[in-house]
Amino acid sequence: MFKHILVPVDHHPACVNAALHAFDLTRALGGQVTLIHLLQQGTLENQVPVEQYLAHLARRARRPPAQVILSIGTQDAVEALATYASGHGIDLIVLGVSGEGGLVDAALGQVATDLTRVSGIPVHLAGGRRLQQIVPWGWQRVVDTVTQP
């Protein structure tokens, strides 16, 4: 069925949920997971914290996933993911959504639609059922805290 799952991750808690969901899928179906982070400014200072984050996330898997940091410069994220996926035998892409609705989930829905159209690879949206376990105070509180002056 799905033998190679790609999970784009950044620092949004929903990405953690997507990775955990992909780990569950490969535990049940077999196969492998690749965690990918798109780096728009390809400097070493940006790469080191991302490597640490990916390594931390990878420790939650039963089988270690591949960890990729892809420097895309000014390339469109959807195009970069589609190109990577088609060149590496990816047969499913898992994106995380918070399940709270709003602009973030709407934007991810658009990314999922665009990614499916451009890549031809199925995109699975992993909802936020575990999000409260990962970040018990909820994503909206994080957003409110960050956006307050």
Q: How far apart are CA 148 and CA 90, in angstroms?
A: 40
Residue 111: closest CA among 94, 91, 128, 90: 94
pLDDT tens digits for range 117-135:
999 999 998 876 544 444 4
Domain that holds residue 106: 4-147
More confident residue, 22 or 113: 22
What is the C-alpha separation between 6 and 8, in angstroms, rounded? 6
Distance, in Å, from the CA atom of 4 to the CA atom of 66, rounded to the nearest integer, reads 10
The amino acid present at 117, given as its one-letter code, is R
Model pLDDT, residue 110: 79
Per-residue pLDDT at 101:
62
If one compares 57 and 97, the residue with the highest pLDDT of the two is 57
CATH classification of the domain holding 85:
3.40.50.620
Q: What is the pLDDT of residue 99?
A: 63
| Res 45 pLDDT > 90 | no
- The answer to whether 134 and 13 have CB atoms below 8 angstroms apart is yes
Stated length of the chain? 149
Measured over the CA atoms of residue 54, residue 59, residue 62 and residue 66, the dihedral's sign is: positive
- Number of independent structural domains in the chain: 1
Q: Between 96 and 19, whose confidence is greater? A: 19
Per residue in 82-119, pLDDT tens?
A: 999 999 999 999 998 876 666 666 666 778 889 999 99
Q: Which residues contact 13 (CB under 8 A, 6 or more apart)?
A: 96, 98, 131, 134, 135, 139, 142
Give the pLDDT of residue 105.
60
pLDDT of amino acid 111: 82
Distances (CA, A) of 92 to 2, 49, 69, 74, 78: 6, 27, 19, 25, 14
